[in-house]
């Protein structure tokens, strides 16, 4: 922990800047949880600053997990608290769950919002559809009334495409699907029988 005092620009007030660091990534959440109990009435600003490493030992594994989780967040992932800035939360190592039978306790990742300074769910907002009004402004759907809703993007399935699908994509020695028929049943059909299946496929 280090502390410094500076004078606010244009004001006759002093501002204390406090920097708290932890020796390992596994203690970040403990520090954040403890800081939630501190008095924040006279607080001007607070931020989470993550060092880029290099990491060693267990911290290297944790750093990779945090990186991949942050990269995999949905674009609309954000804090669910009302009034918070719409931005992605920080990914932190939440806690360690384990028992005596586990040699390596299971790590759990969670989110933390540096705006409301609260733990948040990383999945919040993943189902939200972003604003797509720019498509309307660009006139993308002006000709949508001329499009046949029954039309296919690639047209009807041709005989060659269907035969290639049956020969290449249907694997043998596999369990039957929901319809109860194994792939071998389709692969051994005659040309006339496969033609019926192709017509059914084009009617979907």
- Tell me: do 58 and 158 sit in the same domain: no
Q: Please give the residue range of the domain that contains residue 48.
A: 11-120
In angstroms, rounded to a whole number, what is the distance separating the alpha carbons of residues 7 and 44? 13
- Tell me: do 116 and 159 sit in the same domain: no
> What is the SS3 string spanning the chain?
CEEEEEECCCCCCEEEEEECCCCCHHHHHHHHHHHCCCCCCCCCCCCCCCCCCCCCCHHHHHHHHHHHHHHCCCCCCCCCCCCCCCCCCEEEEEEEECCCCCCCCEEEEEEEECCCCEEECCCCCCCCCCCCHHHHHCCCCCCHHHCCCCCCCCCCCCHHHHHHHHHHCCCCCCCCCCCCCCHHHHHCCCHHHHHHHHHHHHHC
| Positions in the chain whose pLDDT score sits under 50 | 3
pLDDT score of 21 = 84
pLDDT score of 127 = 67
Q: Is residue 138 part of a domain?
A: no
pLDDT score of 194 = 92
- Tell me: do 32 and 79 sit in the same domain: yes
Answer whether the bond into residue 157 is a cis peptide, omega within 30°. Answer: no
Domain count, the chain: 2
- Tell me: do 27 and 106 sit in the same domain: yes
Q: Which of 67, 101, 120 is the last residue of a domain?
A: 120
- Tell me: do 114 and 22 sit in the same domain: yes
pLDDT score of 3 = 46
pLDDT score of 128 = 67
Q: Is residue 129 part of a domain?
A: no
- Tell me: do 164 and 108 sit in the same domain: no
- Tell me: do 116 and 152 sit in the same domain: no
- Tell me: do 29 and 116 sit in the same domain: yes
- Tell me: do 44 and 100 sit in the same domain: yes
- Tell me: do 41 and 100 sit in the same domain: yes
Considering all CA atoms of the chain, what is the largest pairwise distance in Å, rounded to the nearest integer? 91
pLDDT score of 103 = 59
- Tell me: do 112 and 44 sit in the same domain: yes
pLDDT score of 73 = 82
pLDDT score of 5 = 52
Q: Is residue 4 part of a domain?
A: no
- Tell me: do 199 and 109 sit in the same domain: no
């Amino acid at each position: 922990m280090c502390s410094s005092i500076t004078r606010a620009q244009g004001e006759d007030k002093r501002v204390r800047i406090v920097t708290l660091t932890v020796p390992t990534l596994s203690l970040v959440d403990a520090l954040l949880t403890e800081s939630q109990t501190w008095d924040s009435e006279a607080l001007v600003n607070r931020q989470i600053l993550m060092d880029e490493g290099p990491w060693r030992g267990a911290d290297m594994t944790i750093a990779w997990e945090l990186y991949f989780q942050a990269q995999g967040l949905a674009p609309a992932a954000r804090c669910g608290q009302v009034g918070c800035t719409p931005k992605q939360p920080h990914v932190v190592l939440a806690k360690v769950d384990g028992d005596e039978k586990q040699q390596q306790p299971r790590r759990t990742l969670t989110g933390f919002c540096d705006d409301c300074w609260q733990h948040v769910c990383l999945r919040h907002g993943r189902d939200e559809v972003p604003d797509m009004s720019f498509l309307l402004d660009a006139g993308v759907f002006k000709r949508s009334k001329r499009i046949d809703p029954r039309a296919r993007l690639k047209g009807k399935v041709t005989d060659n495409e269907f035969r290639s699908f049956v020969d290449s994509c249907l694997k043998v020695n596999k369990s039957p699907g929901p319809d109860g028929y194994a792939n071998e049943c389709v692969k051994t059909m005659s040309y006339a029988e496969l033609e019926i299946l192709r017509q059914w496929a084009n009617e979907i």
